[in-house]
Amino acid sequence: MVSPAAGSPRTPTRVLVIDDEPQLVRALVINLKARAYDVDTAHDGATALRVAADRRPDVVVLDLGLPDMDGVQVIKGLRGWSRVPILVLSARHSSDEKVQALDAGADDYVTKPFGMDELLARLRAAVRRAEPVGDEADMTVETEEFTVDLAAKKVDRGGRDVRLTPTEWHLLEVLVRNADKLVGQRQLLQEVWGPSYGTETNYLRVYMAQLRRKLEADPSHPRHFITEPGMGYRFEK
């Protein structure tokens, strides 16, 4: 419900687990990998900071009881250059330590022993709130002749904005989101005009013509909006 991300098989979430207890690490790694996370591990603070810089994890799970340095120092070390979500584990229930860790920049604090379900849920929550807004980065598709910005809902052609009607834009959006793939006319009709449509192919002809007229260099010999006779249409860069 958050973002459909049609066609983009998002790279797996990368987790960095920092802990010096082999058993706990193993349990975490197994559970995380089973859920298709990409996992790195570090057994002490110094390594952790190095690995974090190298691998740029999407979320960090940090045990405060490390052999070489104080956990809070690790948090500060990370926060010096990164806003990656940090989920702290600790055997200590002391309120003081929680406050210290959280104020140093941790995002969450879980006391051992903990339920794996809960930890994973907290991890999902941390990842979820870290990502969504910025996914408008590569929401823009360029061709030689024009540029489509899906986030801003703008089409640029030779420095000038192209004015599209709602239906035209909707049609364009579906095609661009499925770039290089054939989109059947039924699917196109249902996505743009609604589920009760499916045979009114004349609509498609009219609006494809409009799109080509506004975007193609030579509308009668389209290079980007290709007709696949009897099947549908395809957008190509």
User: Which residue, 13 or 41, has its beta carbon nearer to its own copies?
Assistant: 13
Q: Which does 201 bind (CB under 5 to 8 A by kind): its own copies, DNA, none?
A: DNA
Among 30, 37, 2, residue whose Cα is nearest residue 131 = 2
The CA angle 205-138-36, to the nearest 5 degrees, is: 110
- Out of 158, 180, 196, 218, name the contact with its own copies by CB under 8 A: 180
Indicate whether 168 belongs to the interface with DNA (CB under 7 A): yes
- Out of 31, 73, 82, 227, name the contact with DNA by CB under 7 A: 227
Site string for DNA, 116-155 (x = CB under 7 A): ----------------------------------------
Q: Which does 140 bind (CB under 5 to 8 A by kind): DNA, its own copies, none?
A: none
Indicate whether 158 belongs to the interface with its own copies (CB under 8 A): no
Instruction: Give 49's contacts (C-beta < 8 A, 6+ positions apart).
Output: 74, 77, 78
- Out of 152, 206, 213, 237, name the contact with its own copies by CB under 8 A: 152
Instruction: Give 126's contacts (C-beta < 8 A, 6+ positions apart).
Output: 59, 85, 87, 107, 108
**Cα dist from 22 to 17, 42, 112, 193, whole Å:** 11, 10, 15, 57
Indicate whether 189 belongs to the interface with its own copies (CB under 8 A): no
Q: Which does 153 bind (CB under 5 to 8 A by kind): DNA, its own copies, none?
A: its own copies
User: Which residue, 89 or 215, has its beta carbon nearer to DNA?
Assistant: 215
Indicate whether 206 belongs to the interface with its own copies (CB under 8 A): no
Q: Which does 82 bind (CB under 5 to 8 A by kind): its own copies, DNA, none?
A: none
Confirm if 170 and 204 have CB atoms less than 8 A apart: no
The CA angle 35-38-40, to the nearest 5 degrees, is: 125
Q: Report DSSP letters for 162-179, one per residue.
A: PP--HHHHHHHHHHHHTT
Query: Coil, strand or helix: which one is 154?
Result: strand
- Out of 26, 35, 129, 205, name the contact with its own copies by CB under 8 A: 129
Site string for its own copies, 82-111 (x = CB under 8 A): -x-x---------xx-xx--xx-xxxxx--
Terminal C-alpha separation, the chain: 29
Sheet (strand 225-228) strand order:
182-184, 232-235, 225-228
Indicate whether 165 belongs to the interface with DNA (CB under 7 A): yes
**Cα dist from 113 to 110, 118, 162, whole Å:** 9, 11, 59
| Residue ranges in contact with DNA by CB under 7 A | 163, 165-168, 185, 193, 200-209, 212-213, 219-220, 227, 229-231
